[in-house]
Amino acid sequence: MLRRINSILVFSVSILFLLGCSTAKIPMSYRFNPRDLKKEITGCWIEVNMHSKANVNPEMELSGELVAIQSDTVYVLTEVQLNGIQLNKINEAILYIYNSQGGKYAAVTGLLYLSDIIAAAATGISTFLDIGLPWLVGGSIITFSEGNNSNLLIYPKKNTIEDFRKFARFPQGILPGVMKDKLHLILTN
């Protein structure tokens, strides 16, 4: 039974780790809960990769808030400044619409199943592990269903750059009256 408990624990921790590290680089205030998107006042977080396959340069990777997309330029606001990136220089862009809920589902699944593991270990009755099995299977399926990048827009693999526009702070574009150097990330909500 101990071996079985160990396997389940390793499996659960691995899922939590994998789901947790995918959005680790994004500031907390930009990890939107899907239900709160309607109340967010900023654009979504974007990672832009401007590498050419032949010449890998880490400095060409940029991540920040998507401020606007105007004609052939993507405006990304970092902690330092507003950057305008020519569309033809973008190798790949990933936009995080909302924070994947997979981690939460995995955590809830694991925590509830933990009660069965503790009960099995404390009483020596392995049937406790079986009682929680439908929950473990159901919770894992739901967790994995959230982990298929449905919360992301990926250019050019899955989406066009036009799809990104409505997730910008200014979907209508940056108006002339906006002082670009005054724009800043909203790091606390």
Residues contributing to the site for other proteins (CB under 8 A): 1, 3, 34-35, 37-39, 41-42, 97-98, 101, 105, 108-109, 112, 115-116, 119, 123-128, 130-135, 138-139, 141-142, 145-146, 148, 150-151, 166-167, 169-172, 174-175, 177-179, 182-184, 186
CB 18, min distance to other proteins, A: 16
Cβ proximity to other proteins: between 14 and 123 the closer is 123
CB 73, min distance to other proteins, A: 16
Cβ proximity to other proteins: between 24 and 122 the closer is 122
CB 185, min distance to other proteins, A: 10
146 neighbors 100 (Cβ within 8 angstroms): yes
CB 34, min distance to other proteins, A: 5
Query: HSE (CB half, 13 Å, CA atoms) of 111?
Result: 6
Strands 152-155 and 61-70: unpaired
Q: For residues 70 and 80, what is the distance between their CA atoms, to the nearest angstrom?
A: 21
84 neighbors 48 (Cβ within 8 angstroms): no
Task: Respond yes or no on whether the N-terminal peptide bond of residue 34 is cis (omega within 30° of 0).
Answer: no
Quote the DSSP letter at residue 58.
G
The SS3 assignment for 97 reads: coil
Cβ proximity to other proteins: between 38 and 53 the closer is 38
Instruction: Give the residue among 47, 36, 66, 34 at the shortest CA–CA distance from 151.
Output: 34
CB 173, min distance to other proteins, A: 8
Cβ proximity to other proteins: between 89 and 112 the closer is 112
Cβ proximity to other proteins: between 26 and 183 the closer is 183
